[in-house]
Amino acid sequence: MYTILEVNGRKDLMRFIKFPDELYRDCPQYVPALHSDQLRSLTRVSTLSYCQRKLWLALDGKGKVVGRICAAINPRYNELYKVKRARFGWFDVIDDYEVARLLFAAAEAWAGENGMEEIHGPLYYNTLGRQGMLVEGFENIPPFNCIYNHAYYGRFVEKYGFSKECDWLQYVLRADQGVPDKTRRVAEMLMQRYDLHFADIDSLKKDHALVREFFDVYNRSFYGKVHNFIPFTDEEIEEEIKEMMPFISGRTSSIVLDGDGKVAAFGIAFPSISRALQKARGRLFPFGWFHIMRAMHGTELCDLMLNGAAPEWQGRGISAVYYSDIAGKARRSGIKRCITNPQIESNSAVNIWNEYEREPYMRRRCYIKKID
């Protein structure tokens, strides 16, 4: 009834990229990724210089696409964590377990042929891409960098033999509530005692050495502390400088410098572009860019993307500094709500949200399975 086709050539690749557009056509929560971004992620990102990956489509008897999956092997991850794991991602499927079974079987067989002992996902090649299958919060619209999927996906992966590896939690906060008095006092004390100050982000983006230092702090702050984290290579850092840095704005983000002008900590937030991407329907042209740029300058919703501190500043309360700064900026900018970045439930850092008025927003899960 169904067949599995390995993706070869641009025609099949575009079918792979566009399949979710049809699958989620009538889903008001789904946020489509830009086709151009997906094409770049699947063909040109620097991570593919050291990762292996394969793509498959599932077709019905009439040749219509009914599912897709990507399997990848990141050797740097396996070396860092002393494991032999493949990862799956870009998994989408109609409500038919047989299709899901065939897709997982293709990914698992390829992983086994390449010497892998486990497979987990949904994950991107590295840590910064979309990851984590949605298991709670299906009624909500996700941030643009997060996966949305139908509820039956979870049943399919568990039926195939996957089990939970970890969960990430997200909350929605009132952005105009400010920070607790204790947080504000800690921020003021640290800034005075250690001569901390905020970077002018527009100026920082023009200082290549300081931008590189920002990514060095990103690597050092997360390695060994964030589950499954893979530090960026130099090539990946240069790529992220070109792709991400232009969109970081001092209107919503905060970068903290120490008394010597070194990056001590950061909190990166973007105005939500999820609604804009829904209007764009995967296309930047002719009007997608307009919707996105308008959202970047006029939304009442903010996505908290990344936050961290250099190891020498961790455990000293420096998060109070950039949270206080971001809260003040949100209030001045008219931002009314914030959605937190996914944080693993076992990380004590997730408890910071207990100090704020917040509600659960989404729970997403990474699954893992031994290869038969």
The share of the chain scoring above pLDDT 70, in percent, equals 99
Q: Three-state DSSP class for 134?
A: strand
Strands 52-59 and 3-6: antiparallel
Q: Three-state DSSP class for 26?
A: coil
Give, in degrees to the nearest 5, the angle at Cα 271 between 137 and 327.
Answer: 90
Comparing 3-166 with 173-369, is the CATH topology the same?
Answer: yes
pLDDT at 264: 96
Residue 49 has pLDDT above 90, yes or no: yes
Q: Which fold has domain 173-369?
A: Aminopeptidase (3.40.630)
Q: Which CATH architecture has domain 3-166?
A: 3-Layer(aba) Sandwich (3.40)
The share of the chain scoring above pLDDT 90, in percent, equals 74
Residue 299 has pLDDT above 80, yes or no: no
Strands 118-121 and 263-271: unpaired
Contact 198, 255 (CB under 8 A): yes
Amino acid at 23: L
Residue 271, token pair as written in the block? 């105005």
> Domain extents for the chain?
3-166, 173-369
Rounded average pLDDT over 321-341: 90
pLDDT at 349: 64
Mean pLDDT of the chain: 93
Residue 232, token pair as written in the block? 């960026």
Residue 78 has pLDDT above 90, yes or no: yes
**Which of the two residues, 325 and 299, has the higher pLDDT score?**
325
Given the structure tokens 């799956």, which residue do they identify?
88
pLDDT at 21: 96
Residue 176 has pLDDT above 80, yes or no: no
Contact 258, 250 (CB under 8 A): no
Q: Three-state DSSP class for 169?
A: strand
Residue 350 has pLDDT above 70, yes or no: no
pLDDT band at 345 (very low <50, low <70, confident <90, very high): confident
Rounded average pLDDT over 72-93: 98
Give, in degrees to the nearest 5, the angle at Cα 73 between 70 and 75.
Answer: 160
Rounded average pLDDT over 337-355: 80
Q: Three-state DSSP class for 128?
A: coil
Count of other CB atoms within 10 angstroms of residue 223: 14
